[in-house]
Amino acid sequence: MSRIGKKPIQIPAGVTLEVKAGNVVSVKGPKGSLEQVVDQDITVAVEENVVTLSRPTEQKRHKAMHGLYRALIQNMIVGVTEGYSKEMELVGVGYKAVTKGQILEMNLGYSHSIFMEIPAEVKVEAESAKGKSPIVKLASHDKQLLGQVCAKIRSLRPVEPYKGKGIKFVGEVIRRKAGKTAAK
């Protein structure tokens, strides 16, 4: 992890990064703003358009936090400039997804529809094409929040290994199992 922590982070044009009191790193860009509290042992230095992080000792804990906070700050900078997006596929007969503002309505084979309110920072869009599985597209500038929302949606109907039904990411490979063989 320490090799990652030593790499400097370039701040692109249009992005402002400042370190506030209490070791709080604030990043503002065209897509939004994010804040992250950095551990007191890790020092964040901003010089011109380069951010560097340093640790006080070579302890395993300090090395791990050094790489962690460097990666979190890098993700914040990428998020406010480019943003992150994920696509989820609903595989199963009769599975549907419809969006109404920030509310995602899904039919996942249960006796009732599932309504899920998506946070305002995440843009949600559902598309259905005839003969294809419905796809839910999520986009946000906050990578952590996006992953958390995707995990919550996926937990509603995890993919099962026998028929491959459930909610999965587009392009994800599901390890399939063979079912019981028929008796003679």
Yes or no: say if 136 and 169 are a contact pair by the CB < 8 Å rule.
no
One domain, residues 73 and 107: no
**Which regions of 30-142 does DSSP assign to beta strands (E)?**
32-37, 43-47, 50-54, 84-91, 96-100, 103-107, 114-117, 123-127, 135-140
One domain, residues 8 and 57: yes
Q: Which three-class secondary structure state does DSSP give residue 44?
A: strand
One domain, residues 143 and 69: no
* The pLDDT of residue 3: 82
* The pLDDT of residue 179: 83
Of the candidates 53, 81, 109, which is a domain's last residue?
81
127 within a domain of the structure (yes/no): yes
pTM of the model as a whole? 0.88
Q: Name the token pair of 16.
A: 């402002």
* The pLDDT of residue 1: 45
One domain, residues 68 and 125: no
Q: What is the CATH number of the domain that holds 76?
A: 3.90.930.12
Yes or no: say if 35 and 26 are a contact pair by the CB < 8 Å rule.
yes
Of the candidates 81, 102, 131, which is a domain's last residue?
81
Write out residues in the chain with pLDDT < 70, as ranges: 1-2, 182-184
The domain in which residue 131 lies consists of: 84-169
Tokens 């951010």 locate to 51
178 within a domain of the structure (yes/no): no
Of the candidates 81, 112, 127, which is a domain's last residue?
81
45 within a domain of the structure (yes/no): yes
54 within a domain of the structure (yes/no): yes
177 within a domain of the structure (yes/no): no
Q: What is the mean pLDDT of the chain?
A: 92
Checking DSSP bridges between strand 103-107 and strand 114-117, what pairing results, if any?
antiparallel
104 within a domain of the structure (yes/no): yes
One domain, residues 74 and 101: no
What is the count of structural domains for the chain?
2
